[in-house]
Structure 1
């Protein structure tokens, strides 16, 4: 989609779109800094993305992920990551959310130890969203962030805000509004670059990093690229080497086989690894998309207790603690259910059970998506974690194999589960196109990761049900009554949900038809699309 072009005089980049409200953010010096990041690192980023595609082609041809033979020495050697900064030594509860102004204030005031401000899966990367988010974080770092609602409610920063950690976009996502030498910048370099240019010195003076969460990595070389980017930024901004710290989300199946290597590549600045469970399930589906024997049942049946997820989380704990790094637990996506006390308590009990599993396994902290869940998660960790963390829990009992990390989870596909995947994929995509990156659906906070699970499962179920092949007794490709899973049913449900959404006041109503068209194209396509957000990005204004 064409956008107006504006030339920043006489800066190093071309900026597309109306940026008149962001002159302070996109100063000549800030743009020069962004251009230096692009020219120094983007060619290597593209090489690494090509390597991803090459590996995926091998898995599509029948190979399976495995531990690397060429990095065995890293896994077997004794080494530790650099000491963890005092501000990050107690991370028992972390809250995540988009960089919208009110949400930033509420998250920082939530009582969590850490707030992960998210430019990635819970944000739609419109130009205004990304730049407004940068301004909101500048004000948060300065302590001046404020917002007054139309109803007159005042939001101000409290006396003891959470520690700020920023998640930029993944390496694969472009930022088409900023071009250097005629090429779009990487969204990751834009998000990271603007944040550190405007905030790094202030945060360093207060011993607050800056700190980052790094998403979607698939290999140690991708982690090494981030290390080089941060080292370059430290030098350009006159900061000490290693002051920028990172926690890596292990949210791709390939990365699970390289946890030691990823920590080693970032050993001077890494703080820990995180179990990004929803993206990890999506990556399992996508990586093994051509392996009929690795199908998964509907999402509600794929809990962290299934063998491949249990193995992944326990391996992460063992790996991190052996190296002196934190092992962070995953997201509780539940949100309060108003008006139904029994249903709300049942949902909270699920959160308690999940957090109890994490703390007993040895995790050092956990994630929640809503401020109301902060005290729920904190109470579990306070009761079962004696100190600030559990680095002493080494888990010598864990011996995870390749087969355990790849083991399929058996189950069923119900009519309700199939329908829910259609609804979640449609409603999330439509809301994303309206500019909302996290959307409450059926009392769960859905983001890009859960929408990716929904649409990927639909693609796999439908295409394998239509192709000849051996029956998969682990996940039968039919409903319990023997009715077929087919494209006719998908098309019917998609049309029905689009009709309901179009006539509602729900997020995404105005983009229901575009979202339905996109999902139909992706689902009917002979090849599974790598990411929902890439073609959806082309539809953003």
Structure 2
């Protein structure tokens, strides 16, 4: 076998087609790690395929007129108020401010040093899943857990290393739907989520155990109790495989799909030995609302910038999550503030006003903590939660009084807002900027004062697809059609060329991006995730 370029390495039936000679890639993909990964895929892969087929079946029902609702077959779980999740380990009880970001080495160090309580390091929406990103990310997190991570920036002539009190590290693997095309088992790409989970656990459970810590994960995009049970069984299998105590692995589940909000009790129950919290993944939740109800003309949302957490259906989602979690002894985490600091004093004042308003709403609603996307906003969010919590680590004893009356209709009724040309054009530019960066291997991109990741780009393109699909009338009377979209798409490419300059434009992949964006926006069939048709274009 050729060990100097792209390589195929076999462990029984497992094959690696990505380069493993770069840096320390071969140490991450060592024979024991691959054997464990293969065991997971062989044990759980077929069951995952069945769960993905069940997702499609449920979505077909929604496309044909059904609406998500609370399940009748699990009513006994919801009605039994006696059960609780396993006690929350001490290191996870105070999570008042969490920072999120990609697995890039310098950003990992900066996030761990940010002053936040937790750093959620993301193999998913904040990181484009190129082979190099995924394996280098494992190296970075391994070194972070060992306390040896460092980085030298030649351009700035600056060195980066961990301070004495870094944030608690939690890893987020890819969603259940994403494959890893560079690892093949029995002729089939393995699930990316199992690769991320397995390699992170294998390389970090012992260093973390030496520090008195378990191995902690954030789980994205679950849609059902059955998917939660699948993860719980993966955890139990892993604990048994390595002879670890039950509950060594602990998870926070992002409630960021519309179907999942109707099964929060059930998800907590299925994962009761391993779950510690749920999180309002607001951006993906808005995307999921559009995707799930895309054929329902009476459920169309306005421009994404008008869909804020003070809207009735999103406030109901937040309060129901808090009440459900606290009843079961789990933390209820708030959502992301995607704002980033500005050098302009006027703009920065506006950013702080919006962040303060958002975080005050979350703390008074009853959330136990919140997310920010930039180290420069950690202090602001921390001050708000410090003032609200005082000496308490969390507010598990708080139950929103209005949550008991929340109905399915409250969760499904859309909000009002603008549907105008300005908003559409901005969504087009955001999607073009983000997708172009993503296929170049960059998954977290500052655009117009916000830190955009795959979730926010998903909202932009899903909204455009739905508006075209239903031929909605914009506020100025124009009917939004595929032809109008294509006209504006062409014009917004020119706008981007003007904003970044012709030389930079020519060196990047905007024309290719525009073709992809056109395809997924005007197709009769809605692409479940933009990352799937984009995956084949992703730079290695």
Does 2:51 match 1:45? no
* Per-residue CA distance 1:192-242 (angstroms, 9 max, x = gap): 000001111221232221000000000011001111111111111221111
* Among 24, 30, 41, the residue aligned to 2:33: 30
Paired residue secondary structure (2:27): coil
Does 2:416 match 1:410? yes
Tell me the CA shift for residue 484 of structure 1: 2.7
* Per-residue CA distance 1:155-183 (angstroms, 9 max, x = gap): 01000000000000010000000011111
Aligned length: 526
Give the match for residue 120 of structure 1: 124
> In structure 2, what is the Cα distance between the partners aligned to 1:484 and 1:49?
36
> In structure 1, what is the Cα distance between the partners aligned to 2:35 and 2:45?
15
Does 2:310 match 1:316? no
* Per-residue CA distance 1:323-360 (angstroms, 9 max, x = gap): 0100000000000111x101111111100000000000
* Among 212, 215, 218, the residue aligned to 1:210: 215
> In structure 2, what is the Cα distance between the partners aligned to 1:291 and 1:484?
18
Give the match for residue 476 of structure 2: 481
Give the match for residue 139 of structure 2: 135
Does 2:488 match 1:490? no
Query: Greater CA deviation, 23-32 or 246-255?
Result: 23-32
Tell me the CA shift for residue 498 of structure 1: 2.6
> In structure 2, what is the Cα distance between the partners aligned to 1:272 and 1:373?
23
> In structure 2, what is the Cα distance between the partners aligned to 1:5 and 1:118?
26
Contact 1:433-1:508 within 8 A present in 2 as well: no
* Among 425, 428, 451, the residue aligned to 1:445: 451
Runs of 5+ unmatched residues, structure 2: none
Paired residue secondary structure (1:95): strand
Contact 1:431-1:507 within 8 A present in 2 as well: no
> In structure 1, what is the Cα distance between the partners aligned to 2:11 and 2:280?
44
Equivalence map 1:89-104=2 (5 Å): 89-104=93-108
Does 2:172 match 1:167? yes
* Among 360, 364, 367, the residue aligned to 1:360: 364
Give the match for residue 13 of structure 1: 14
* Per-residue CA distance 1:497-518 (angstroms, 9 max, x = gap): 3344457367996111111000
1:508–1:334 Cα change, 3 Å = farther
> In structure 2, what is the Cα distance between the partners aligned to 1:56 and 1:435?
30
Tell me the CA shift for residue 486 of structure 1: 2.3
Give the match for residue 114 of structure 2: 110
> In structure 2, what is the Cα distance between the partners aligned to 1:510 and 1:332?
29
> In structure 1, what is the Cα distance between the partners aligned to 2:419 and 2:525?
22
Tell me the CA shift for residue 9 of structure 1: 4.6
Equivalence map 1:494-513=2 (5 Å): 494-501=489-496, 504=500, 510-513=508-511
Give the match for residue 285 of structure 2: 280
1:507–1:40 Cα change, 3 Å = farther
Give the match for residue 249 of structure 2: 244
Tell me the CA shift for residue 396 of structure 1: 3.6
Contact 1:502-1:513 within 8 A present in 2 as well: no
> In structure 2, what is the Cα distance between the partners aligned to 1:239 and 1:495?
56
Give the match for residue 226 of structure 2: 221
> In structure 1, what is the Cα distance between the partners aligned to 2:300 and 2:518?
21
> In structure 1, what is the Cα distance between the partners aligned to 2:36 and 2:11?
14
Tell me the CA shift for residue 269 of structure 1: 1.1
Paired residue secondary structure (2:169): strand
* Per-residue CA distance 1:346-389 (angstroms, 9 max, x = gap): 11110000000000000000000000010010011011113110
Paired residue secondary structure (1:372): helix
Equivalence map 1:285-364=2 (5 Å): 285-338=290-343, 340-364=344-368
Give the match for residue 150 of structure 2: 146
1:142–1:507 Cα change, 3 Å = farther
Paired residue secondary structure (1:42): helix
> In structure 1, what is the Cα distance between the partners aligned to 2:484 and 2:106?
41
Q: RMSD of aligned C-alpha atoms?
A: 1.4
* Per-residue CA distance 1:75-101 (angstroms, 9 max, x = gap): 011211111011011000000000000
Give the match for residue 470 of structure 2: 464
Contact 1:501-1:509 within 8 A present in 2 as well: no
TM-score, normalising length: structure 2: 0.95
Tell me the CA shift for residue 5 of structure 1: 6.0
1:316–1:509 Cα change, 3 Å = farther
Query: Greater CA deviation, 398-407 or 255-264?
Result: 398-407
> In structure 1, what is the Cα distance between the partners aligned to 2:255 and 2:67?
18
Tell me the CA shift for residue 260 of structure 1: 0.3
Contact 2:497-2:505 within 8 A present in 1 as well: no
Query: Greater CA deviation, 405-414 or 52-61?
Result: 405-414
* Per-residue CA distance 1:49-78 (angstroms, 9 max, x = gap): 000000000010101001000000100112
Give the match for residue 263 of structure 1: 268
Contact 2:18-2:183 within 8 A present in 1 as well: no
TM-score, normalising length: structure 1: 0.95
* Per-residue CA distance 1:464-501 (angstroms, 9 max, x = gap): 11xxxxxxxxxxx3333323322232112212233444
Contact 1:502-1:509 within 8 A present in 2 as well: no
Query: Greater CA deviation, 427-436 or 228-237?
Result: 228-237
> In structure 2, what is the Cα distance between the partners aligned to 1:507 and 1:251?
34
Runs of 5+ unmatched residues, structure 1: 466-476
Contact 2:429-2:496 within 8 A present in 1 as well: no
* Per-residue CA distance 1:223-273 (angstroms, 9 max, x = gap): 011111111111112211111000000000000000000000110110010
> In structure 1, what is the Cα distance between the partners aligned to 2:211 and 2:185?
33
